[in-house]
Amino acid sequence: MAEPVVVVEQEFQYSSLFAQGQTAIAGMWLFLAQECLFFGGLILTWIYARYWNQAGFDAGSHGTVLWIGSVNTGVLVTSSFVYACALLFIQAGRSRLTAWALALVIALGCVFLMLKGYEWHLDFDSHNWVNDPDFPIKGELEGGAKLFWTFYWIGTVLHAAHMVAGIGLVAYVLRRAVRGDFTVAYHAPVEVVGIFWSFVDIVWMVLWPLIYLIGRMP
Amino acid sequence: MTRSLVKLTLVWVFLMAVAGAEFVVSGVRMEMANRPVLLCFAAVMVATIAFAFMHLGRAPTVAKGFAVAAVFWLIVLFGMGSMDALTRDWYPVPHYNPY
């Protein structure tokens, strides 16, 4: 079946469709530059708090669910790979394949969030909540462990919020792809949303060792 | 397209291998001060994703400038923010109670 033929008109303020796309890509990178500083502040806080409470942080880290964090790492890397394939497909004019790949990205994003939700459920069951009177770590390590879990909750909730935003953006691009809005010549929205999606992946690549691995090292 | 698809697949295999290596190394006994070596694996993965999946190399020049600026300001943020903790042993700070 032939791909639909569409004509995309550029916005009036740009000299060409190419310039319009390049501006959108640059805008996304500018947004991500400030996102780096947003998450950078959080990670600096973690470094500083851990420096003064290493034993407490390590004790807290042992309470995390390692298998879920690790499986989610694979899920996110795979979703970024599939999104890169979606971009490749639209550049080759295969809009149907693009739509299928985008749908798979959304499914992988939902798998990540479902696993994360299950992990949060386990964390609550284990009383790993700062205000919980049955917080499992007592004594001199309690303060450091509570700092760790504060970082854990802020970091993972902020990341999950970005995942939800990302899934919404991918769904928007999928809808437009199904409608046949993108061509070989113009598919900047696919590329721009892909950059954001991979950035959310990158944030997890940093959170994974900080939360699950470093504190568990023998 | 097939060639590009193969390249992307190889990148995915590489990323999964680095993640696996990071996981394995996290089980190796290591001095407390050397533990941040795990972040080297994370840095490799971040750079790979930025260039292979986010196409930073072929992004507009101004976008590359934004990416470089982000890295620069992160270095400033982490450098200045960690300075006290990293140099506390070199320059002991006397206890000071203003009250």
CB contact under 8 A, A47 and B1: no
pTM value?
Answer: 0.91
Record: contact A89-B1, CB cut-off 8 A? yes
For A2-39, the pLDDT digits (tens) are 555 556 667 777 878 888 888 999 999 999 999 999 99
- In this predicted structure, what is the pLDDT of residue A217? 84
What is the spatial distance between Cα A14 and Cα A6, in angstroms, rounded to a whole number? 20
pLDDT per residue, tens digit, chain B (99 aa), is 788 999 999 999 999 999 999 999 998 888 877 777 888 999 999 999 999 999 999 999 999 999 999 999 999 999 998 887 777 777 666 666 666
Across A148-162, average pLDDT: 96
Is the Cβ–Cβ distance between A113 and A72 less than 8 Å?
Answer: no
Query: Residue A100 corresponds to which tokens in the numbers above?
Result: 């299928």
| Residue type at B25 in one-letter notation | V
- Nearest chain A residue to B33, by CA: A51
Residue A84 has what pLDDT?
96
- Mutation site for A-interface testing, chosen from B3, B24, B26 by largest number of A Cβ within 10 Å: B26
Question: pLDDT (tens digit, 9 = 90+) per residue, A67-109?
Answer: 999 999 999 999 999 999 999 999 998 989 999 999 999 999 9
Q: How far apart are CA A70 and CA A208, in angstroms?
A: 7
In the predicted model, what is the mean pLDDT of chain A?
Answer: 92
Chain B residue closest to A208 (CA)?
A: B42
Residues of B within 8 A of A43 (CB-CB) are: 78
pLDDT at residue number A1: 46
C-alpha A24/C-alpha A169 separation (Å) is 14
Query: What ipTM goes with this model?
Result: 0.89
* A186 at B interface, C-beta within 8 A: no
Q: What 3-state DSSP class applies to A146?
A: helix
Q: Distance between CA A10 and CA B36 in Å, rounded?
A: 48
Rounded CA separation B37/B77 (Å): 19
Instruction: Tell me which chain A residue has its CA closest to the CA of residue B45.
Output: A205
Rounded to the nearest angstrom, the minimum Cα separation between B12 and chain A is 6
A83 chain-B contacts, CB cut-off 8 A: 53
Q: Does B18 touch chain A (CB under 8 A)?
A: no
- As a whole number of angstroms, the distance between CA A155 and CA A119 comes to 14
Q: Does B72 touch chain A (CB under 8 A)?
A: no
